[in-house]
Amino acid sequence: MERLVLIALIGSVTAMQMRSVRQEYAVLIGGATAAFLLADTLIRVTGLSDVFLRACGEYGVPSALPGTVLKILGIAYLTEFGVNVSKDAGQHAVAGTLEIGGKLLMLSCSLPAVVSLLETGAALIREAAP
Amino acid sequence: MRNLLLLSLALFIPFLFLENSEEAQDGVDALLKTVDLSEWDDLFRELDVDGTEKPSDYLHEIAQMRGQPFSTSVGKLQEQLLPSVRPAVIRTVLLLGIAVFGAALNGLSDDSAIGENARTAFRITASGIVLVMAFMEIRTALHMLTTIDRVTEILLPAITGFLMLSGMTNTAALLPASYMLLSELVMKTITSCIAPLAVTGGVMLVLDAGSTGKLASAGRVLHRAAKWILATACSLYMVITTIRSVASASADGLLIRTTKIAAGSIPAIGSLLTESVDVAFQCLHFVRSALGLTGCLVLLLAVLKPLLSTIMTCCSFRASAMLAEPLSGKQYADLLRGMGDTLHILMLCGSSATAMALLMIAPVFGSVGGV
């Protein structure tokens, strides 16, 4: 955690210093710092997601459903990161497009879950009804 | 075959409850060796009762527990309980894991629409996982209800036949009537009305996660209706069966007393006859109690494991709801609570049906008019 805070501080201070000299470098340094922080955090979380997926498998939950939860989480964080970097660079149109892309991707990811939810619900009611 | 099996067990069971003496222990050991308990296992296999242990194993264990300290019995009970606890703990951890991932989405900024969309997509996917996880447990609970009905159906002819043989005609006449009431009024209401209402309500509560809440309100109404119908059916059954039991027990008691008085009024050999009648009735009462006890044991053995599993699942969903609320918010917790409520109603159905079946068997080993 200390390493993350240190990198974030160094990146922010450098980008701030660069802003007065070369604006485009400041954007690049900010983006690189954010990308590094995100990648470092994701590497640490991978172990947790593996445990979660294994536990779901042991319990008999089809791996597609917990996998979808992780995908949604990943898409949401990556899109948010991309949108923030684009906004920092003053590219609001790109940020808007990325946001729409993220939403569509999340929709396409959760559609099988919706189908599975409705199917399981219908199967349960069929099972209970005489 | 079943009647013979039950009667052989009726002779076997009293030994288990006699005082701890060497003779009784020898009797138990001899019976365990001679009575063919594989037929008992076949009966349970036919009923498709869940569980890896065979009923004959249980009976051996019960026999060995006689005269043992109380801690041994508690240890045996723990052995039965622990296999149901492990899946419940895994389930709770899994549901909390999902809540942690949901909490991770709360870190997204509220300015962009991404956060809101991700949270909705998460809730839908989490609903799917919860429903899949609850599916097998709900099936077990529904299967338990049909098992209770089938066990009582099998026990009925054996018990009624024996009561007729022992001259308890009024109590014997009561049993089929009680069974019809249990099967036609209570079990039919449970399987064709209460269970579908509870499951549909649960599905509605789960489907509503992340939407307006109207479907959830309808689901809650269905749950409330299921509870009211169950309470009404149970109360009706209890009242009718209790009145009938008291009436038939009094009639049988009167019949026995009249027989004794009639035998006593015969000149010269009257007192001898009265004593003989007394002994005969005491013996019949003893075997009748054993038969009733066997019936209760069969029912409890058939229902114990699925009922325990349903109780543990219900507890794990409710505990997860309580622990997940501060992590991932109210909607995910409501979803878990809804599924917990569904299982709670199914558990109530199972336990009330078992209690009512026991109430049906109870008059068999109740004392009759102070005989």
**pLDDT by residue (tens digit) across A36-54?**
887 777 777 777 777 777 7
Reported as a pLDDT band with limits 50, 70 and 90, residue B28 is low
Reported as a pLDDT band with limits 50, 70 and 90, residue B239 is confident
Most confident region among A55-64, A120-129, B358-367 by mean pLDDT: A120-129
- Give percent above pLDDT 70 in chain B: 62
- Burial (Cβ within 10 Å: 0-12, 13-18, ≥19) of residue B107: exposed
Which among A12, A29, A44 is the end of a domain? A44
Q: Are residues A65 and A12 in the same domain?
A: no
What's the pLDDT tens digit per position in B167-220?
667 777 777 777 888 877 888 888 888 989 999 998 888 888 656 678 888 888
Residue B239 lies in a domain: yes
Please give the average per-residue pLDDT across B47-57, as a whole number: 56
The whole domain housing A113 covers 47-130
Report, in angstroms and rounded to the nearest whole number, the Rg of chain A calculated over CA atoms.
20
Å between A114 CA and nearest CA of chain B: 7
The pLDDT assigned to B345 comes to 92
Partners of residue A72 in chain B, C-beta under 8 Å: 105, 118, 121-122, 125
Residue B30 lies in a domain: no
Count of domains forming chain B: 1
- The Cα B148–Cα B152 span in angstroms is 6
- Give percent above pLDDT 70 in chain A: 99
Interchain contact B132–A (C-beta under 8 A): yes
The pLDDT assigned to B69 comes to 64
Please give the average per-residue pLDDT across B37-59, as a whole number: 60
Count of domains forming chain A: 2
The pLDDT assigned to B111 comes to 66
Q: Are residues A90 and A127 in the same domain?
A: yes
Q: Are residues A62 and A28 in the same domain?
A: no
Q: Are residues A26 and A82 in the same domain?
A: no
Please give the average per-residue pLDDT across B295-310, as a whole number: 80
- Burial (Cβ within 10 Å: 0-12, 13-18, ≥19) of residue B126: buried
The lowest-confidence range among B72-81, B121-130, B205-214 is B72-81
The reply to whether residue B131 touches residue A77, judged by beta carbons under 8 angstroms, is no
Computed from CA positions of residues B97, B98, B101, B102, in that sequence, does the dihedral angle turn out positive or negative? negative
Q: Are residues A13 and A52 in the same domain?
A: no
Which among A29, A44, A59 is the end of a domain? A44
Q: Are residues A60 and A83 in the same domain?
A: yes
The pLDDT assigned to B135 comes to 86
Residue B282 lies in a domain: yes
Å between A13 CA and nearest CA of chain B: 23
Please give the average per-residue pLDDT across B15-30, as a whole number: 52
Residue B170 lies in a domain: yes
Q: Are residues A58 and A19 in the same domain?
A: no
- Burial (Cβ within 10 Å: 0-12, 13-18, ≥19) of residue A72: buried
Reported as a pLDDT band with limits 50, 70 and 90, residue B64 is low
The pLDDT assigned to B225 comes to 93
Reported as a pLDDT band with limits 50, 70 and 90, residue B224 is very high
Most confident region among B151-155, B248-252, B294-298, B363-367 by mean pLDDT: B151-155
Q: Are residues A13 and A53 in the same domain?
A: no
Residue B80 lies in a domain: no
Q: Are residues A33 and A84 in the same domain?
A: no
Å between A50 CA and nearest CA of chain B: 12
Residue B262 lies in a domain: yes
- Average per-residue pLDDT in chain B? 75
Interface contacts A/B by beta carbons within 8 Å: 130
The reply to whether residue A72 touches residue B196, judged by beta carbons under 8 angstroms, is no
The reply to whether residue A69 touches residue B136, judged by beta carbons under 8 angstroms, is no
Please tell me which of the candidates A60, A73, A121 has its beta carbon nearest to residue B206: A121
Residue B77 lies in a domain: no
- The Cα B147–Cα A127 span in angstroms is 15
The lowest-confidence range among A91-100, B57-66, B145-154, B177-186 is B57-66
Interchain contact B211–A (C-beta under 8 A): no
Most confident region among B43-57, B275-289, B335-349 by mean pLDDT: B335-349
Interchain contact A99–B (C-beta under 8 A): yes
pLDDT at B279 over 80: no
B195-207 helix and A92-128 helix, angle to the nearest 10 degrees: 180
Q: Are residues A61 and A110 in the same domain?
A: yes
The whole domain housing B331 covers 86-366
The reply to whether residue B199 touches residue A127, judged by beta carbons under 8 angstroms, is yes
Interchain contact A88–B (C-beta under 8 A): no
Who wins on pLDDT, B342 or B15?
B342
Q: Do B353 and B187 meet the contact criterion of CB atoms below 8 Å apart?
A: yes
Interchain contact B262–A (C-beta under 8 A): no
DSSP states along B155-204: HHHHHHHHHHHTT-HHHHHHHHHHHHIIIIIIIHHIIIIIHHHHHHHHHH
Q: Are residues A89 and A130 in the same domain?
A: yes
Closest B-chain CA to A130: B192
Residue B306 lies in a domain: yes
The pLDDT assigned to B18 comes to 47
Who wins on pLDDT, B24 or B137?
B137
Q: Are residues A54 and A114 in the same domain?
A: yes
